[in-house]
Amino acid sequence: MDTILGLNGLHWALLGGGIAAIGGGIGSSIGVGAATRVAQGVLAEQPERFGALLVLTALPGTQGFYGFITAILVWILFNLGGGADIPAAVGFSVFSACLPVGVVLAISGPAQSWAAQASILWVAKRKEAAGRAIIFPALVETYAVTTLVVGVFYLLTARASM
């Protein structure tokens, strides 16, 4: 069995899927946790804002789903549950497709949280701003989604090369 740096194709694919899931989980947990702190401060004095603040607090959590989706796609596309024999070069391609996903998700979760926290404070001062306040954290979301889409295309390309 061929290897790259001592890892075979299956190892590289597992490592890539894991990094995507870990990056998404880290980004989301940091992002949601930070946004929650600000939202709870507002809700202590304005509990009627719960609905609007829940949405803003949850937005940084999407990165975890994108990492999960990427890891599941790796599992399905490369039959990792069936003990697939993946060439080392293909496994490394899978890793290379997942690495940017994991890194961007780990960074975009906290960045989206910063935007969400500012929006939470805006809604605290002006309840009518709730709908518009979602736009700012959603701008950061575009980069997480773009990275997911690119990662999926790269995974499909790696799959086609088998």
Report residue 38: phi and psi, to 5°.
Answer: -70, -45
Please report whether residue 9 resides in a domain.
no
Please report whether residue 131 resides in a domain.
yes
Q: 131 lies in which domain range?
A: 23-160
Please report whether residue 18 resides in a domain.
no
Using CB atoms within 10 A of its CB, is residue 119 exposed (0-12), middle (13-18) or buried (19+)? buried
CA distances to 3, 25, 98, 147 from 8, in Å: 4, 26, 16, 26
User: How confident is the model at residue 14, as a pLDDT?
Assistant: 94
User: How confident is the model at residue 22, as a pLDDT?
Assistant: 98
pLDDT at residue 21 greater than cutoff 90: yes
pLDDT at residue 153 greater than cutoff 80: yes
Q: 3-state DSSP call for residue 133?
A: helix
Please report whether residue 2 resides in a domain.
no
Q: What percent of the chain has pLDDT over 90?
A: 87
Q: Distance between CA atoms of 32 and 110, rounded to whole angstroms?
A: 8
Give the domain CATH number at 116.
1.20.120.610
Structure tokens at 36: 């929650």
pLDDT digits (tens, 9 = 90+) for 56-89: 999 999 999 999 999 999 999 998 887 778 999 9
Q: 7 — alpha (psi -120 to 50), left (phi > 0) or beta?
A: beta
Q: How many domains does one find in the chain?
A: 1
- pTM for the model stands at 0.91
User: How confident is the model at residue 58, as a pLDDT?
Assistant: 96
Please report whether residue 8 resides in a domain.
no
Please report whether residue 91 resides in a domain.
yes
Please report whether residue 10 resides in a domain.
no
